[in-house]
Amino acid sequence: MRFGTHEFLNSLWLLIPLAFFLRWAWSKRLSALERFGNPELISRLMDGVSRQKQKAKLWLIFFVFFFSLIALSRPMWGQKEQTVVSRGNDIVIALDVSRSMMAEDIKPNRLAKAKHEIAQLFDKLQGHRIGVVIFAGEAFVQCPLTLDYAAAKILLSEVEIGSVPVPGTAISAAIRKSVESFPPGERESRVVILITDGEDTVEDPKQAAEKAAEEGVMIYAIGIGDPLGVPIPIRDESGGIKEYIKDREGNVVTSKLDEAALRSICLTTGGAYFRVRADSLQLDDIYQHMEQRRQERLLKTQFVTQFEERFQYFLFLALVLLLIEMLLTDRKRAPKRTVGGYRHAEFTPAEKRSASSE
């Protein structure tokens, strides 16, 4: 026999003080009766009360607690085979919202295009939990893992340049925050889709990728932009280009894509790297790749031998004993005898004395 919850099994030690308490309560009850009056008078008054039944009721209470604790300990014996099927993925999309995402080499701009395709991906992810992490110089959880796709779309629509006030591109922080978004203890079917257009300006993301791999997280990366770099426009109220973002020396800033670093991240975690092609972020390709991996897991259905829980038997015994204790009276049962073909009850000694005095 095995037990599923050892905390309640260890609580069986509490039955020892319970037994002493019931014994003490019984002794206090007898002592109170002795102090009440003359023992012979008390005996005559309580001639119809069964001490044995009173003790039995105390034992019933004791065993109700005993079987209840055994039931809460989840006793198990006997074995059965259970089919374990892989569930859907937990997917966190880490979206770059740095200023370089305003570049317009993808129309209308990189961020707007990314948000549009992510929203379309949400429509296909039925049965998968999704979350969104946004990052620039720091990373924040915009939407925790959820099956509420409508709410996720609303939170995604609120993302814009400046949602993360710290400038820069902290890919390492985005990976760490994404990994932290997954529930602890669950190490299967966890995916991060990293969408960025730059290189990490804070630290080397290789260590963060290695930590993610240790946690069983697979990272897909989508590189937006040109490895040679493109300028980042600033538009006026009418929509025209007013100027391009410049550094402190007055040079035009270009956003360069570090494909080598992104490939290294994906290779470390067993994922895949995709580069934007023909104004498409290739999220469909990533989705197909994830579904293929998921179908492979479904084909590897496992049969796990498990012990069957038998707590219901002990719970049933506890309920039966509790019902008996409630219905059991402490009165003596008057014996029956037959006289002249009729059955009548034999009077108790106290009733006989009362009748003779009359």
Domains assigned to the chain: 2-79+309-357 (no CATH), 90-300 (3.40.50.410)
Q: Which of 1-10, 29-38, 101-110 has the highest mean pLDDT?
A: 101-110
pLDDT digits 0-9 by tens, 239-250: 667 677 776 777
How much is the average pLDDT of 32-60?
A: 71
- Tell me: pLDDT of 92 over 90: yes
Q: Mark out the alpha helices in the chain (DSSP H runs).
A: 6-10, 15-36, 39-45, 51-72, 110-122, 149-157, 171-180, 206-214, 259-269, 283-299, 311-327, 349-357
pLDDT digits 0-9 by tens, 287-339: 887 777 766 655 545 555 567 788 888 899 999 999 988 888 777 665 555 44
CA distance 236 to 234: 7
- pLDDT > 70 in the chain, percent: 75
DSSP state of 123: T
Comparison of pLDDT for 44 and 104, the residue scoring more: 104
Q: Do residues 75 and 314 lie in contact, with contact meaning Cβ atoms separated by under 8 Å?
A: yes
Q: Omega before 108 cis (within 30°)?
A: yes
pLDDT of residue 345: 47
User: Which amino acid belongs to residue 308?
Assistant: E
Q: What is the dihedral of CA 118, 233, 135, 147, to 10 degrees?
A: -20
pLDDT digits 0-9 by tens, 155-193: 999 999 889 988 888 999 999 999 999 987 666 678 999
Q: Which of 34-48, 68-82, 158-172, 183-197 has the highest mean pLDDT?
A: 158-172
- Tell me: pLDDT of 109 over 70: yes
- Tell me: pLDDT of 96 over 90: yes
How many CB atoms within 10 Å of residue 37?
10
| Burial classification of residue 24, based on how many CB atoms lie within 10 Å of its CB (0-12 exposed, 13-18 middle, 19 or more buried) | exposed
- Tell me: pLDDT of 79 over 80: no
pLDDT of residue 13: 86
Rounded to the nearest angstrom, the gap between the alpha carbon of residue 89 and the centroid of all alpha carbons in its chain is 15
Tell me the average pLDDT of the chain. 79
- Tell me: pLDDT of 357 over 50: no
Q: Mark out the alpha helices in 87-236 (DSSP H runs).
A: 110-122, 149-157, 171-180, 206-214
Name the nearest CA neighbour of 266 among 196, 319, 328: 196
Of the candidate ranges 3-17, 209-223, 328-342, the one whose mean pLDDT is the lowest: 328-342
Which residues on neighbouring strands pair with residue 140, listed in sequence order? 134
CA distance 212 to 191: 10
Which residues on neighbouring strands pair with residue 235, listed in sequence order? 241
Token pair, residue 190, equals 């966890």
- Tell me: pLDDT of 106 over 60: yes
- Tell me: pLDDT of 87 over 90: no
Which residues lie below 8 Å from residue 278, measured CB to CB, with a gap of 6+?
none
| Confidence band of 152 (pLDDT split at 50, 70, 90) | very high
pLDDT of residue 95: 95
